[in-house]
Structures are given as C-alpha cells and as structure tokens.
Structure 1
Amino acid sequence: YSGGYNRGGLSPSPISEAVLLYSSTEKKPACPGLGLLYTLLASVFFSAAALLVKKIEGMHAIEISAIRCFFQMLFVMPAMIYYNTGFLGPRGMRIYLFFRGFLGSNAMILLYYAVLQMPLADATVIMFSNPVFTSLLAWIFLKERFTIWDVVFTMFTLTGVILIARPPFLFGGKLSGIEGDYTNHIKGTVAAFTGAIGAACTMVILRKIGKSVHYYLSVWYYAVLGLIECVIVLFILDEWTIPFCGWDRWTLMAIGLLGVAGQTFLTKALQIEKAGPVALMRTMDVVLAFILQFLFLNRKPTWWSLGGALCVISSTSGVAIRKWYNSTKNKS
C-alpha cells in the first residue's frame, strides 16, 4: 500500500516502511510473538483490501483511491487531536511532508490501477519490490552505502518483474495466463513498477524526515493530498460514477476500514517487535495475494508468476535480513 506503499489499503510501501517506522524505544511484548501476530493481521487486512478493489466493477481506480483517502482522513483525525500533533507539522518539515503525501498517494493510485488491469498477485509482487529501489535511491540522494549485495538484489527484482510482464520480444507473441488482453497487462505492469518506484521515493523522504514528525501527521498528509489529487483528476477525466447500491458501497467502506486496520496493527507490531522480523513477516502479503486470487477469483498462478514472485521475495527478504543483521551488529 500500498500503499504504501503506502505500501491504509494496499500499502504502496511494505518492507521499507516497516523498517522506517521502527522506534528505538522497544517495548517488551506481553507474550512472545505478539508483534509478529500483529504483522500477520496487518498483511491479512491489506491483502483483503486489495482483493475488494479487484472485485469492484465499473469504477475508476482513482475514485476508489479517493474514497480510501477520505476514510483514512476520517479515522486518523481523532488520533491526531488526541496526540496533539497539529495538522501542518514543523515549518522545516512541511515540504518533505508534502512530497511524502504526493508521492505516496500516487503510488497507491497506481497500485489500484494495476490491480484492476492485471492479476492481483502479479500486481502485488511488482509493488512489493519497492524496498530494493529504496536502497538504490537512498544511495543516490542520501549517500547511504550501496554494496554488491544491493546490486544482486536489484537484478533479482528486475528479473522477477520481467518474468511477470513477459515482454513479447523475449517470450514470443503467444502468452498464456494473461488476464484480459496483453495491452492491459503491460499497462498494469508499468503502473505497478512506477508505483513501486514512487513508494521507494516516499521511503527516502521518510528517512530524511526521521522521527521529527509524528507518524499520524505523515499519514494525514498522505490522505489529504491523495484526496485532493484524486478529486481534481476525476473532474478532469469526468470519471465520477455513483457506486451501485448494496454490495459496492459496502465494499468501498470496507476498503477504507481495512486500510486503517492494517496501518494500526502494523504500527502496534513495530512498537513491540524489531523491524527485521516484521519486515520478513510482511512477505506474507505476496503469499496471501496468490491464495486469495485462487480462492475468490478462481485464478491459478502461472509458473512465470511464481518464478517472478520467488525472485522478488528473495531480494526483498535479502534487503530486510541484511539491514537486520547490520543493526544487530552495530548494537553489539
């Protein structure tokens, strides 16, 4: 979540956001593994929201994103008032918060668009590659260390995306397992890949901000700017549609609620558990996407999709494990 990337909803920023939200003031959990249980619940909620996006028919991805942002504003506002965070943030941080909100909301819109254009699991896998690009962008803009392992992880990620996209000049003209026509599949792939890069940019900005801004304020900018952007674009495209009575309206409300629930459990997990284990547990998003796609959309994954997912999960897990190891080594 998308997301965050993100990644409330599909978080357009999954692993790297988990690393960023981790607080240095650890709280010991009431029982071992509680933080990982919270992370698993967050993955379930995010995946369920993505499935509901896939089930909606006749609505533009931007309108779905607008409704999701509206509900996120609605539920974050009381928390901001309770914690007295303010609505603008420190003067020196506002420009960073603006770009965090703008890029994060764009990543969410692109993810939702990708989900509507291609198989749910394929869109999730590509969007889940954002931690690898975060390392690359952090090396370029924040002068962070970029090792040979980061190069390997990047190559694995790109290989996974290629296996899912399966461009005709590499795989030939006849492709099996494509949802709809190949043009939509490529549109979805480009949208998910661009969304992953947008989510990675958001993570770099969050690293720049650090802990000087409350987490809820960052989410607030994400929701407000996303809503404003979606409304403007919808008026330009003239794509406003009134959801059908009954199931569709309840589904749109559920997408917003599931996104907020996912964000809440992920935050609680990071309050009591180290970022490394949480980041690794977030790989369940990809597994759940394949399971939900099979159970509710009656779609079996292709070997190409499974191979691409394996490449992406390996690279993102490698990033998480390396960061976890380095942080443990520095503390010792």
Structure 2
Amino acid sequence: MNFLTPGMQYMLLGTFLFSIGSLCVKLSGLHVPTTEILFVRGVVGVLLCWYILRRAGVGVFGKRKLALFLRGLLGFTSMLAEFYTIVHLPLADALVLLFSHPIVVALLGWFILRERLSKGSLVAVLISLVGVTVVCRPGILFGAKEAMDPFLLGVALLAVLLTSFAILTVRSLAKTEHPAVVMFYPPLFIALLAPLFAGEWVVPTVGEWCTMLGVAVFMNMGQYYMTRGYAIESAARISGVSSLEIVFAGMWGVMFLNEIPDVWTVLGGVLIVLGTVVLGRSARTEMVISPKFPLS
C-alpha cells in the first residue's frame, strides 16, 4: 500500500474494523433495540479506553477538557442522528446522504483548520462520493415517486454536519491528546445518555450478546485507529477513505447475509477504490487551493 500515506493506512484499518462492527449491528439489531446496542458499545468503549490509558500511564480526562467534552457530545448526537436517519429513511437514501460528510469535512478543514486542500484531493473525494451514489442508487437521484420528508432530510443533513464537526474535533485533539483519551469521551456520553433515549429493553440471547460485544470491540478499535490516522494526516485527504466501509459491507453481505451485489454495486465499489488511490497520490501534489480570506 505504498500509494497510501501512513495516516490513510490507519484510516483504512479502522474502516475495516468498523465494517465488521456494522455487520454485528445488522445481526444483533434483528431483535435488540438500537439504543441497547449503543449502550453496550459505550460501556465496553469506556472500559477499553481505561485499559489502554492505564497501560500507557496517561490520565483519563486529558488536557483540553472543554474540547474533549465537545467531542463526546458531538460523538453521541451525531451517532443518534445517524441511527435515526438509517431507521426512518430508505437505506440507500440514508447512506448517500450520510456519506456526503467527506466533502463537508474537506471544506470545513479548509476554512476552519486552514488545511491545504489540493485539487487532486477534492477530485478524489468527489469520485468516492459518486461511487457511493452508484452503490446506493438513491431514489432522490434515480427517480422516486414521492419526495423525501423534509424533517427526515433535515435530520440526515444534521447528522452529516455533526459528524463533520466531530471529525474536525478529533483532528484537532489528536495533535495534543492520546488517541485513547480522544476515544474515551464519546462512549462515556453514550453510556450515560443512551438509556435516557431508550424505550423497552430486551434480554439478549447468547448469540446476541456475542454480536453486541462484537459491535463494541470492533467499532471502538476502529475508532482508535481512525484517531491515530487523524493525528498524522489532513482531515480532507483522510476522510474519503471511510467510504470504503461500503465496499467491505458488500463483502460481508455476500459472505454472511447471502446478499449478492449487482453491477451497480461493483461499479460503485471500483469508483470508491479509485478515489482512495487518487487521494493517496494527491498527498504529494504541489497545486493547492487557498481560501481568499484566511482565518486568524
């Protein structure tokens, strides 16, 4: 993977682990409520971060407490909005909207963090998003008979915005905080707040406990490697790699869910991978875009 920068390699590993966690969500969500799965992920995440921080000899609460508090709040609210979008919108529409966040991250990183954004990086992100669109084939682009509910569309766009700000917060905090410290706050907020949004709780079976623990372990480890990636790579270049989660999800669908991808899924996957390759090569480009009014 010489065409990928070290930060993008961390993101690729984190995305791969996240995709396995998504498979576990799919399997456990057949019977267990979403907030219950989220709560288990939060509790395990807190324990995992505590263990990592104890071994590293690093304090749990970090240095920039206000920014870390914001990271936890953004992590919880963005995930809550994402789950609401996925549950209430057609899956294709929900995914194409939620995976538009790399462009938002790139633009916010350009204006807020004053990161250098090459034309190649921007083109690569656009290619990846086209691939996501082809894979999902949303009704709003491929001819839906009914318009999307404005409220649900607003929730989806709110999820994209919250996720983008959460990513930029990680990018900023990762420069001064241990990755496990940055990871600690979202599961802490999830563990504390998820029960407040829960309805009826169920008693999971042994198999459901295994898949719920899989959600917690794989997604929290995925977040750990993603955080390491954000610590050494620009948010604009690295965020598009997360689109590969759809490719991995297609693989798990074939292997475990008997879901055979069609030609559109294959074509979209090729575009997403192509966008990732372009992202890696554009990291060395010399042609950059600068905002006309730099922020002080």
Q: Equivalent residue for 2:37?
A: 64
What are the residue-to-residue correspondences of 1:281-292 with 2, within 5 Å?
284-292=244-252
Are the aligned partners of 1:114 and 1:123 in contact in 2 as well (CA < 8 Å)? yes
**1:197 Cα offset (Å):** 3.7
Correspondence 1:130 to 2:101: yes
Are the aligned partners of 2:250 and 2:261 in contact in 1 as well (CA < 8 Å)? yes
Q: Equivalent residue for 2:202?
A: 242
- The superposition leaves residues 21-40 of structure 1 with CA deviations (integer Å, 9 ceiling, x where unpaired) of 95xxxxxxxxxxxx96x877
Q: Equivalent residue for 1:79?
A: 52
Query: What is the identity percentage for the equivalent residue pairs of Structure 1 and Structure 2?
Result: 21
Q: Return closer, same or farther for 1:203/1:318 CA change in 2, 3 Å cut-off.
A: farther
With the length of structure 1 as denominator, give the TM-score of the two structures. 0.65
Q: Equivalent residue for 2:256?
A: 296
Structure 1 residue identity aligned to 2:101? N
What are the residue-to-residue correspondences of 1:4-153 with 2, within 5 Å?
22=7, 42-56=14-28, 57-90=30-63, 93-112=64-83, 127=98, 129-146=100-117, 148-149=119-120, 152-153=123-124
Q: Return closer, same or farther for 1:292/1:111 CA change in 2, 3 Å cut-off.
A: farther
Q: Return closer, same or farther for 1:283/1:158 CA change in 2, 3 Å cut-off.
A: closer
Q: Equivalent residue for 1:167?
A: 139
Higher relative contact order (CA 8 A, sep 6+): 2
- Taking the aligned partners of 1:212 and 1:172, their CA distance within structure 2 comes to 47
**1:120 Cα offset (Å):** 7.8
SS of 1:325's equivalent in the other structure is coil
| Paired positions, count | 279
Correspondence 1:217 to 2:177: no
- The superposition leaves residues 50-90 of structure 1 with CA deviations (integer Å, 9 ceiling, x where unpaired) of 11111222333232112101101011112222333323222
- Taking the aligned partners of 2:170 and 2:227, their CA distance within structure 1 comes to 15
Select 1:201's aligned residue among 152, 165, 173: 165
Structure 1 residue identity aligned to 2:180? Y
Q: Equivalent residue for 1:227?
A: 191
Structure 2 residue identity aligned to 1:211? K
Are the aligned partners of 1:121 and 1:289 in contact in 2 as well (CA < 8 Å)? no
Deviates more, 1:242-251 or 1:301-310: 301-310
SS of 1:212's equivalent in the other structure is coil
Structure 2 residue identity aligned to 1:59? V
- The superposition leaves residues 143-164 of structure 1 with CA deviations (integer Å, 9 ceiling, x where unpaired) of 3344544554565455455542
Deviates more, 1:287-296 or 1:144-153: 144-153
Correspondence 1:325 to 2:281: no
Q: Return closer, same or farther for 1:244/1:79 CA change in 2, 3 Å cut-off.
A: closer
Alignment RMSD (CA, Å): 4.4
Are the aligned partners of 1:66 and 1:227 in contact in 2 as well (CA < 8 Å)? yes
Structure 2 residue identity aligned to 1:52? C
With the length of structure 2 as denominator, give the TM-score of the two structures. 0.71
Deviates more, 1:257-266 or 1:78-87: 257-266
